Every structure is written in C-alpha cells, then in structure tokens.
Amino acid sequence: MAGETAVGLVAFLVAGARPNFMKIAPIYREARRRGGVVCRLIHTGQHYDYEMSQTFFQDLELPEPDVFLKAGSGSHAVQTARIMTAFEKVCQSACPDLVIVVGDVNSTLACSLVAKKLLIRVAHVEAGLRSFDRTMPEEINRIVTDAVADEFFVTEESGVENLRREGRPEERIHFVGNVMIDNLMFQLERLQSDEEARFSTAGLKNRLGTYLFLTLHRPSNVDQAETFQGIAAALNEAAERFPILFPMHPRTRKMVKHHGVRLSERVHVLPPLGFRESLYLWKDAAAVLTDSGGLQEETTALGVPCVTIRENTERPVTLSLGTNILAGNRKSGILQALDRALRADRSRFQVPPKWDGQAARRIWEALLGEDPKVARPV
C-alpha cells in the first residue's frame, strides 16, 4: 500500500474461473518486473474448467496455480462456504501481506471476507461497478466486496462515483483503467504473429466472410424456456441476414437440450474456444451479440459494434463512449439493437480513458507507493 515497503511483499492473486485468470494475468506479469514482490496464484476451482489446459496458461504467460482449492459447483451458499473454509487454511499457513481479488464472482466475495477477518489487506480490481440490479448474484458480490476492501482499483469513472457515494475513502480509490484491456492488447499483439490458419475455425471464418459473433450463458437468458426461446427466435431471424458464429457454453448447451431450443442452420454452433481463437473471430465480426461483461469492454476497445442481451449493464461507459447497445432479452429489442449496431458510424466510437493496456502498471504503482497520485481520479 502507499508508503509501505515493497521488500518481501507476498500477494495472493485469486481467480475462480477462466475470465478471472485473464484479469490477473497482467497483474502477475507486471509483478514479475518488480523486485521484492512475490505473487502466489490461488485457483478456487469455482467453475468447471473445460479449457484450463496447459496451453491456456501458456497463452496468458502464467504458471500453473500455486494452490487449487477445488471448490466445485453448488448453490451460492455451499460454494462460498467451501471457498471460505479452504482459503482460510491457506491464509493461516502462508500469511500473505495482501490478497488481490478481481471481478464479481463468488470467489471474489469469499476470499475478501476471509482475508479481512484474518486482518489481511484486500485490494479489489474492477471495484465500484454497479448494475443496480440486486437480483444479480454478481451485484451482491460487488457490493459486499467493496464494503470490506482496503484498496479500490476502478476501470471507469462511474465506479469512482459509486464508491464515493458509498463512502469509501477518497485516498483508497484508484482510477487505473482496465486489466481486461491489458490482456486484450497482450493477446492481440501475439495473435498478429501467430499462424492464424492453425485455428480450427479458420476455414469457416474465411468461407463465411461477413458474420456475427455470439456468446450467451447467463441464467437470466437461458434458464427460463420462454426467455430462451424468444432469444433464439431473434438469433434465427438475424442469421437470415448474416450467419452467426456461436461458441456455446456448456451451461447453454445443457439448456438448449432441456428447453428444446432450435437454432437455424446459419447459426454455427462451435465448442468452447480459447481466448485467442475467440478473439480471432470476434475482432472481424460485423457485430458481436453477448451477455458477457468482458466482451462489452473488449469490443469497445477495438471498435467492434456490440449488442448486449441484458436489461442492464454495470459497464455504462461502453454505452456512453463505446460501441455497446443495450438490447434487453426480448426478440424485438435484440433485432432493433442489432440493426442500430450494423448501421453505426464506427468513426464516432471512442475508447474510454486509461484503457491503454497500462492498468496493471498503475495498480502496482499505487500498491507499492511508487507514485501514489498516478492512479487517482482527477
């Protein structure tokens, strides 16, 4: 923290699912450039890791996690309790100086609570984001994590405003930019030097030419038959205009079968893809349709039109400055938003402040007191 020595600082970097590792990877890589900082990777095992192969970690330039808690699936209460119990033992054994949590998954909440009760300092990356929808489990995780954290690293100005309104100390709020964009820039640079033809989807991409890219997995979209059927109807109609590439999440695949959802032959269902191959596809799409938080940000950073199939977003800067359009999850709203996205003037898109690939550097500068003002909002 500001004013403290960096010598011998031991930090735990906590991740619970694939997107979390994409967020901690830039923080880990930046820590390696600094003397006296030791980072331990803690994988809670919150989600089944269908793509967590050695190649996944190599792409991120991450070692395999130092600790794997094997929390597994379950209800929110069961999962959170498992993570807390296992993480407490690790903290009591290793006594870290700092716990860094990212995002808004159950692991973020669970490890923050454990660390604070053990009097270990907590830094929250992506702090202050709010959808103002408390029916979302992620919103509860965000609010509670920010209630106990010591340092708040913020991706956009709305997060600063939210934290101020909630009474967080001004000197602990650091507007640093977005580590997801750090990772995006890192992967994009490497993608340009890759043999893209090696990707399993290269032939399909080249054959289709113009296409849409889709991700869909949130319970609010796929768990209820009526909602999912309406979304599918929108997708099938959109596919008449442009084919759709759809790497399908295992949860979504399960619900397709459960609800008897039928997708057009022009919706090309793919297996889950690694980050780099997914980027290879969506960066050149005519538009992206998604209910993912990360893709709202990443498409904004690269100027790709995005239609978010949700009623709200905790990332409002992607609406006000970026490429994102909020569509809701009804057929008419999705199709209207897609039409707007396809007609959008791309020259008017803007990249939010500090989304420049340097967020991890600013995080460590603030944590280590190298320049305590560099990350402060104006």
The answer to whether residues 298 and 180 touch, using CB atoms and an 8 Å cutoff, is: yes
Give the C-alpha separation, 52 to 104, whole Å. 20
Is residue 1 scored above 80 in pLDDT? no
Is residue 181 scored above 50 in pLDDT? yes
Is residue 3 scored above 70 in pLDDT? no
pLDDT, one tens digit per residue, over 97-116 is 999 999 999 999 999 999 99
- The mean per-residue pLDDT over the stretch 184-189 comes to 94
- The mean per-residue pLDDT over the stretch 343-366 comes to 95
- The mean per-residue pLDDT over the stretch 3-23 comes to 79
The bridge status of strand 121-125 relative to strand 244-247 is unpaired
* Banded pLDDT at 57 (limits 50, 70, 90): confident
- What are the angstrom distances between the C-alpha of 136 and each of 58, 82, 252, 345, 353? 33, 21, 18, 33, 27
* Banded pLDDT at 285 (limits 50, 70, 90): very high
Q: Known catalytic residues?
A: 217
User: How many residues belong to the chain?
Assistant: 378
Q: Where are the beta strands (DSSP E) in 295-344?
A: 306-308, 324-326
- The mean per-residue pLDDT over the stretch 203-227 comes to 96
Is residue 301 scored above 70 in pLDDT? yes
- Contacts by residues 249-258 (CB-CB < 8 Å, ≥ 24 positions apart): 249/215, 249/216, 249/217, 250/48, 250/50, 251/217, 251/222, 252/216, 252/217, 252/222, 255/222, 255/223, 255/228, 256/228
What pLDDT is attached to residue 371?
Answer: 55
What pLDDT is attached to residue 70?
Answer: 84
Residue with the two structure tokens 């399960």:
254
- The mean per-residue pLDDT over the stretch 356-374 comes to 84
- The mean per-residue pLDDT over the stretch 280-309 comes to 97
**Residue 75 CB burial class (10 angstroms; 0-12, 13-18, ≥19):** exposed
- The mean per-residue pLDDT over the stretch 204-231 comes to 96
What pLDDT is attached to residue 5?
Answer: 41
Over 160-217, what HEC string results? Answer: HHHHHHCCCCHHHEEECCCHHHHHHHHHHHHHCCCCHHHCCCHHHHHHHCCCEEECCC
Instruction: Sketch out the chain's domains with CATH numbers.
Output: 9-177+358-368 (3.40.50.2000), 201-348 (3.40.50.2000)
* Banded pLDDT at 264 (limits 50, 70, 90): very high
- The mean per-residue pLDDT over the stretch 357-365 comes to 97
The partner residues of 121 in beta bridges, in order of sequence, read 98
